[in-house]
Structure 1
């Protein structure tokens, strides 16, 4: 059931007691299940790749993990996962290396996130669980951020934990979760290599990383640009680990192209003549719009000018991400492990920029915010193909466990995409994915704090299918869009009636726990 019933008030609704308790109640079972399953670098050469300015020592460093020796190869392929921040679908056409990945691999054309907000989305990617099973609904406050992630023990459910124990060398680099403080917090469970920043990373310069327990401060030289630093570290990890013949898991999570949209100096000003790709939804009204969206005035000239500038800087920042992709793919090839390595690209959420008369932001259930890229290359992945199978961000963790030969997590809500990645079109596939969003508590430190002009919807839960989007808000309002006939989602048909299947599927997905339950809910007749 949708938590709360208070509409668009200032207090964020919280899960019901039974849903809130679910993650803690099942943690010991998951650990036992995991144990059983286990038993069974620069993209563009930089002139000055010098050492960072200062280094200090943090309180923690990774604890050595006993693990079996497993050889890298077809049975235990490597995984490189690049996750961009606020990366929308309209950026793909401007990234040449990502397009080369599409030509060499498979594109999942209907891939959705479970919330169009950083921390809940990333928590679900890590765990393979919907927000109602992670307990993480926002970026900060009582129901969000790394505090909620830790409160429910979600760090122990990350896909890296069983992969590390099964013999994989693991690395996480870049942005972790909102509220992580590199000067005070150590590496998280499951990761051998840990190079992670805090809130200062959005600026791309003048930030701090926790590098395996060492606090390293980066300055403002071109070589300190964070995406490039991560690119060098990632390529080094790939080459070093591949030489040991140990399988590896690497996640590189950039802060780019998140606001304030900081490009590297080499690309600054290079995309100023590229217009924003306006769709029919740009500066348009929604017929029968929900209350929170009604009454929005047309975009003002100053707002349009700012969108154009922000778009330019987003494109320029994305070119650095494209360079990172090129660099890690080159490192994989140079190490001689290309035939045994999956390279995966995706995003934690999209971004609207003028659609529905909203200034840049996210948090809605519109396609602009929840539809993100998912592109994969690797062994058995058919080149130049596209799948329209409905997939979700909670499917990534289960897929990594499956393709790596580690096993499956029956208590994850997501399902493995291994067969789909390899070209299959399963007949009995999931037909809906859940999107869950809480109205946030307005914590000033939240980097995604939004006002009504950029989108401040009340709490809602929604279901996406191949041809529909259905939303139910905490105040009882509904939206229903026939996305086959109305792909820009401009006519809310809910006042005329909602197909009965959609509320039934939404209710079933809200209550689901574990892959069997959630797959059954996703095929509600």
Structure 2
């Protein structure tokens, strides 16, 4: 049995204009290295044999309302901990994935869109953000590392830099990543620097291919006796919601869940949303059909979770492995009269599942403290006994997993930061939305256990009380006391300009 999370001895490092959600100047990143050669693995030592393996399953656009249709994920939750107030830094694929990899907010990574001059893989690479990620942390700590699936927008299997073989980012011993593979068939994967093409046979279904690769990696790593870190990043359930052929006719008659926000605009809604007309009948039917397809598509993910855990057991390392399940962002489907999509500060888009089970994690625990995707990198580092990089903005959640109350014990944050810069209006973007009225303007937001506060670039504001108004139907911003508004604006400014765990931690504790 590995040392429990709470006994690990590694120490953890703890709007340009106030009140306006603008595109912020990113903090500087390390200068790119001329060489992108993969590093030699750290030799096995007694220390590397005593730390938990990590299996991280990251889904794409998986919202909280899909959890009831994932029995094996719910079993994982029962065996471990779930995070009731886990949010993403930006409800958009690439900015969120950049935050997960680096442990930094979008205003520090500089990745605020999926592509172009202010987002996407090419910018991430040019800013040398890949040189310091959880992969490089764990690789340097002696872990065998593998990545399978969707990496970042604008990454494609044949990409090279300065010629040579297709590019593999630093920190990964095993690599199989795709590009535009959302259809689940007829795609390419860069497999350790060699491009392989997959077709349209049932056995080519992408989630199943990723699952098989991950199972082989687990088996080989366990046999080698080296601790390992595995990320499997599925394309499902992203649009076009393609299920495995075996699941294509499942859940007949299933329709989307409809809370009080469905086809209803909040009272005193911000200008970008206020004028939305009722959803037409054809769109309601489309939403129901799409939700059913999303449920069908995630059955392959649920099966993969079961197969990965079974493989861990067969390999004799299940008791020594932390399994983590999450999503890069959420997804709305008709709530607040919006077409299917994301990028808003509503709960449907920013609040996603985070589940972790393994040694030292209390079964059935529900963590209430605000946790963000910037906390994953320092968590993985602490589990691995690796130094926590100085430039990250998050902190390890391992101290939350023994049932204590960090707010009393060690000053955990009370507020999370949500950022959004510019709508996805490029037709080349897989999250392109032709109906721009369904995409909010730039904003920054604070989310606590009690409320969400949003400031838009046009000066409009939102404030929702989670306890009295969980579906966010009553915007209370206009009735806030002026002193309270000042407190909120100052706290938001502190967070959306912070850099580093110390500053960001203090800013995150500055408001309740």
Both proteins in one fold, TM over 0.5: yes
Q: Is contact 1:285-1:357 (8 Å) kept?
A: yes
Tell me what 2:506 maps to: 520
**Is 2:164 aligned against 1:189?**
no
Q: CA deviation at 1:100?
A: 0.4
Q: CA deviation at 1:504?
A: 2.1
Q: CA deviation at 1:5?
A: 10
Tell me what 1:288 maps to: 268
Q: CA deviation at 1:175?
A: 0.1
Three-state SS of the structure 1 residue aligned to 2:28 is: helix
Q: CA deviation at 1:443?
A: 2.3
Task: Give the alignment's TM-score, normalised by structure 1.
Answer: 0.89
Three-state SS of the structure 2 residue aligned to 1:343 is: strand
Three-state SS of the structure 2 residue aligned to 1:507 is: helix
**Is 2:460 aligned against 1:477?**
yes
Q: CA deviation at 1:404?
A: 1.3
Tell me what 1:14 maps to: 23
Q: Counterparts of 1:188 and 1:486 in 2: how far apart (Å)?
A: 44
Tell me what 2:9 maps to: none
RMSD: 2.1
Q: CA deviation at 1:4?
A: 11
**Is 2:164 aligned against 1:178?**
no
Q: 2:43 aligns with which of 61, 68, 71?
A: 68
Tell me what 1:203 maps to: 183
Three-state SS of the structure 2 residue aligned to 1:202 is: coil
Tell me what 2:3 maps to: none
Three-state SS of the structure 1 residue aligned to 2:116 is: coil
Task: Give the alignment's TM-score, normalised by structure 2.
Answer: 0.91
Structure 1 residues 233 and 3, CA gap change in structure 2 (3 angstroms): farther
Q: Counterparts of 2:16 and 2:260 in 1: how far apart (Å)?
A: 31
Q: Counterparts of 2:437 and 2:351 in 1: how far apart (Å)?
A: 18
Three-state SS of the structure 2 residue aligned to 1:81 is: strand
Q: Is contact 1:164-1:190 (8 Å) kept?
A: yes
Unaligned runs of 5+ in 2: 1-14, 161-166
Tell me what 1:119 maps to: 94
User: Which aligned runs of 4 or more in structure 1 are off by greater than 6 angstroms?
Assistant: 3-7
Q: Counterparts of 1:424 and 1:335 in 2: how far apart (Å)?
A: 33
Equivalent residues, number? 484
CA distances 1:286-306 after superposition (whole Å, capped 9, x unpaired): 111111101111111100111
Tell me what 1:497 maps to: 480
Q: Is contact 2:453-2:464 (8 Å) kept?
A: yes
Q: Is contact 1:359-1:454 (8 Å) kept?
A: no
**Is 2:250 aligned against 1:270?**
yes
**Is 2:250 aligned against 1:252?**
no
Three-state SS of the structure 1 residue aligned to 2:84 is: strand
CA distances 1:399-418 after superposition (whole Å, capped 9, x unpaired): 00011111322321001001
CA distances 1:413-462 after superposition (whole Å, capped 9, x unpaired): 00100111333321221100101111136322100011446721111111
Structure 1 residues 102 and 74, CA gap change in structure 2 (3 angstroms): farther
Q: Is contact 2:18-2:489 (8 Å) kept?
A: no
Q: 1:458 aligns with which of 428, 441, 449?
A: 441
Three-state SS of the structure 2 residue aligned to 1:398 is: helix
Unaligned runs of 5+ in 1: 8-12, 32-59
